Amino acid sequence: MISRYDETITKPPYLTIQIDEVEVEYPEVDDLGEEFARRLIFACKLKGYDFKFYTSSSENSDYDYEIVVY
């Protein structure tokens, strides 16, 4: 799931809204998650987004990770 911060919320807690989705395969061999992060960054760039960070998607069970973009 690709999301960004909801700009209408100006005080904590800041919430994100889903804007897109992408499928990225987790690598078989990954040194501290660096390769996976590179794959996420590349996937975001292909869709025209600037990667900010990613986290486990606990709110939405349809997705394993939430990628927050600028």
Query: For residue 8, what are the CA distances in angstroms to 55, 57, 70?
Result: 22, 22, 15
**pLDDT at residue 60, as a whole number:** 77
At 15-69, the pLDDT tens digits run 999 999 999 999 999 988 899 999 999 999 999 999 999 998 767 788 999 999 9
Provide the whole-model pTM.
0.86
**pLDDT at residue 54, as a whole number:** 95
**pLDDT at residue 9, as a whole number:** 92
Taking CA 20 as the corner, what is the angle to CA 67 and CA 27, rounded to the nearest 5 degrees?
45
